[in-house]
């Protein structure tokens, strides 16, 4: 029984590590994408910049949003 409790605990710890790592990677991607938006001449605070930040919230939104703009 103790073995199983230990394995479950290890599994939960590993899952938390993976989730926090994924969140960091996602934040880095969003930051990079917003930098590209700014490099393309979109001013912070503009309507287009707001739309970009809204699109970059989730991966599915990124994909669907950009498809709609094309």
CA distance linking residue 39 with residue 60, whole number of Å = 24
pLDDT in tens, the chain (70 residues): 677 677 777 887 787 777 777 667 777 887 888 888 889 898 888 988 888 887 777 665 555 555 565 5
Cα diameter, the chain: 61
Q: What is the pTM of this model?
A: 0.52
Helix and strand totals (H; E) in the chain:
3, 0
Backbone angles phi, psi at 48, to 5 degrees: -65, -40
Neighbours of 49 (CB within 10 A): 15
The ranges assigned to domains in the chain are 2-69
């Amino acid at each position: 029984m103790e073995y199983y409790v230990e394995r479950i605990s290890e599994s939960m710890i590993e899952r938390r590590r993976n989730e926090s790592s994924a969140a960091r990677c996602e934040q880095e991607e969003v930051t990079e994408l917003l930098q590209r938006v700014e490099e393309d001449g979109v001013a912070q605070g503009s309507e287009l910049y707001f739309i970009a930040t809204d699109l970059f919230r989730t991966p599915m939104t990124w994909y669907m949003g950009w498809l709609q703009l094309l």
